[in-house]
Amino acid sequence: MSQTSTVPRNTSNAGFRRANRIKLLRPVLMLGGVLVVVIVSLIFWLFGGQYVSSDDTYVDAAKVSLSTDVSGLVSEVDVKDNQHVEAGQVLFKLSQAQFNIAVAAAQAQLAQAQLDVASAKRGYAEAVDEIAAQRIQIQDDQSNLSKYASVVGSGGVTRATYDDARFKLAADQSKLTQLQDESGVQLAKLANNPDIDPAQTPEYQSALAQLNNAKLQQAHSIVRAPYSGTVTMVEQLQPSMFLPAGTVAFGLVSDTDVWVTAQPKESDLTWVKPGQSVDITVDAYPGEKWTGVVQSISPASGSEFSILPAQNSSGNWVKVVQRIPLRVQIKSGPDGFVLRDGMSAEISIDTNHHRHLSDLF
């Protein structure tokens, strides 16, 4: 009987001790779990302020809508859609006939200006010679008039002869004035310098400016790539089309001037500065990574450049976290992967900032 009663008593004691241990471990585990969560969260917070990430990020590239400031018929298109071109490569040309004619006309005007200067110099020289000869003639007229005046009273010459001599002197003096006026006109054409270089005259310079303008328009009728890249939407331009001045022909996207534009939240930019290193990933190339640096940060939020920026005019203001455009310069990346304008990307900026426990208080 004593043996059968001992077994249940031992079993009961073991169960009682197990229950006590469970009661003791339960608060320890609960408090320990909370403590572990707090410690892990604290560690994550302390080491989590160094990096700033943004997925509102896109690849950007320099691009231009190609056009020309002269009008004309398209004579040839030298590229195809999505073709890679080098800087200075001919893209398309306008018909050269009208520009050749304009250059030839301007060259003729320049040659005429040179002839006009030569003619003015010759005309001025002849006028100077005629003035000198006329002055000699006037001196002779004055001498004759003096002699006639001394004898006309005594009957040595008739009054008619005396009057003819007086009228001739007056006529020759008037002719001298006319010759002087004509020489003044020729001298004015020479900018009051009879030995002037033809290239220094206003007529020559005006004709030269017209020639340079004609040559400039002819040069602009041949459109070249301003930088290397890929042309796009070329098919909208066809030979024999009339292209008005300033009309977009097609586009060119650079393959060298490429960067990343991000729109991080304003609250993420506390410790972001130009020059900080950036890791870049592109959605189109999973697993690949590019490196770069923060090149610049916009002085205004993106909403400030919208057509209708938000204004607090009604008094019912709803605060919205703003996004500040940020530009990342690409430094290096994997070979064989082309970054195309508009691709979606993600960035992670190393701010080198470390949080401290004192920041919590």
Q: Is the dihedral of CA 98, 102, 103, 104 positive or negative?
A: positive
Determine the pLDDT at residue 23: 66
Determine the pLDDT at residue 333: 92
Determine the pLDDT at residue 2: 45
Residue 207, in any domain of the structure: yes
Same domain assignment for residues 88 and 225: yes
Q: Which of 164, 190, 216 represents a domain boundary (last residue)?
A: 216
Same domain assignment for residues 80 and 150: no
Determine the pLDDT at residue 51: 85
Q: d(Cα 96, Cα 219) in Å, to the nearest integer?
A: 10
Q: d(Cα 279, Cα 57) in Å, to the nearest integer?
A: 12
Give the type of residue at 284: A
* Beta carbons of 177 and 130 less than 8 angstroms apart: no
Determine the pLDDT at residue 12: 63
Determine the pLDDT at residue 3: 47
The CATH number of whichever domain residue 67 belongs to comes to 2.40.50.100
Same domain assignment for residues 116 and 202: yes
Residue 71, in any domain of the structure: yes
Q: What letter would DSSP give residue 22?
A: H
Domain that holds residue 73: 63-94+221-253
Total tally of structural domains belonging to the chain: 2
Distances in whole angstroms, Cα of residue 126 to Cα of each of 133, 178, 180, 182, 198: 11, 13, 11, 10, 19
Residue 263's region, left for phi above 0, alpha for psi from -120 to 50, else beta, is beta
Residue 41, in any domain of the structure: no
Q: Which helix (H) or strand (E) holds 7?
A: helix 2-48
Q: Which of 253, 273, 299 represents a domain boundary (last residue)?
A: 253
Residue 354, in any domain of the structure: no
Q: Which tokens belong to 135?
A: 């002055």
Q: Is the dihedral of CA 134, 140, 141, 143 positive or negative?
A: positive
Residue 336, in any domain of the structure: no
Same domain assignment for residues 229 and 84: yes
Q: What letter would DSSP give residue 285?
A: S
- Per-run averaged pLDDT (10 residues), the chain, 361 residues: 50 65 67 73 63 91 95 96 96 96 96 89 85 88 84 78 86 88 82 83 91 96 96 94 95 94 90 94 95 94 69 64 91 92 94 67 59
